Amino acid sequence: MTRKTPGTFRTRVLTKGVDPTLCCYFKSSRLKQYFKEGKALRTETVICDTKDFGIGRRLCSKNWSALKEVGQSANRRLCDAEATDAQPAPDVATFSEVTLPSKTKDGLYAPGLRFGDSRVMAVLAALVGFCNVVVGFRNAEIVERIGAMLEEIPYTSRQATYDLRRLKRKGLIVKIRRSHRYQLTDLGRRVAVLFTKTYGRVLAPGLTALDPRLPDDVAAASPVAVAWRRLDRTLDQFMESRFVAA
């Protein structure tokens, strides 16, 4: 599927009551995931026009097998993507392997992807947008996304080439054969999602809440800031009392 592919492509997520429904549309076909009778998760692909996937309409074994493979592949890829995102976070060894310089099995040098570095975090955040893109992504597409995130800091195609090379050597992406496109590996998807969410939802807000320069009225609205300041005062009082006693 490319920009020139005809048709409308959309995704709709419904949450009526407590039963979520996920619907993905491709041309006249649809992939749907929902809870069957509220008891079990059901994933199904409905193909209304076989020509959407280059398959003939004639009733024969060849067309049926091809159609069956398309449906099973779509269901499997969706479930695999969801299962991958639900897996535990990479362990400490994986974290060190990604963030520190290392070497590949072929002895090639792989620069580290430093957690917290603005450029690295922008690269990983851009990769999250390509987690479920079947056709992968190109250098120009990654440049466009990262450039928008870094805003005033210029990001060039040459820098993207360097970043793609170290991502590849770290095993986070692979190059699609006979093309200039790349795809995320399972490890790459986990690392990109974990690093981005941790930085954006935990580290940055957490450090802001613990900042002593945070106005008192703003800190009062944060349970973390209130607890931290209480702990800080208690520690100061404890240390002061010990010094006085000594």
Can you give the residue ranges of every domain in the chain? 9-85, 92-201, 211-245
Q: Is the pLDDT of residue 222 over 70?
A: yes
Q: Give percent above pLDDT 70 in the chain.
A: 92
Rounded CA-CA distance 209/58 in Å is: 64
CATH 1.10.10.10 fits 92-201, yes or no: yes
Determine the pLDDT at residue 20.
74
Q: Is the pLDDT of residue 132 over 80?
A: no
The residues, any chain, with a CB within 8 Å of residue 30's CB and separated by 6 or more, are: 23, 24, 45, 46, 48
pLDDT band at 4 (very low <50, low <70, confident <90, very high): confident
Q: Does residue 72 sit in helix, strand or coil?
A: helix
pLDDT band at 85 (very low <50, low <70, confident <90, very high): low
Reported as a single tens digit per residue, the pLDDT across 195-213 is 998 888 888 888 888 888 8
Q: Is the pLDDT of residue 89 over 80?
A: no
> DSSP character for 113?
-
CA 178 distance to own-chain centroid: 25
**Structure tokens belonging to residue 75:** 């269901």
Average pLDDT over residues 85-89: 62
Determine the pLDDT at residue 150.
86
Strand partners, 182: 137, 175
Distances 79 to 42, 43, 47, 86 between C-alpha atoms, Å:
10, 8, 18, 11
What average pLDDT is seen over the chain?
A: 86
Rounded CA-CA distance 110/163 in Å is: 10
Q: Is the pLDDT of residue 245 over 80?
A: no
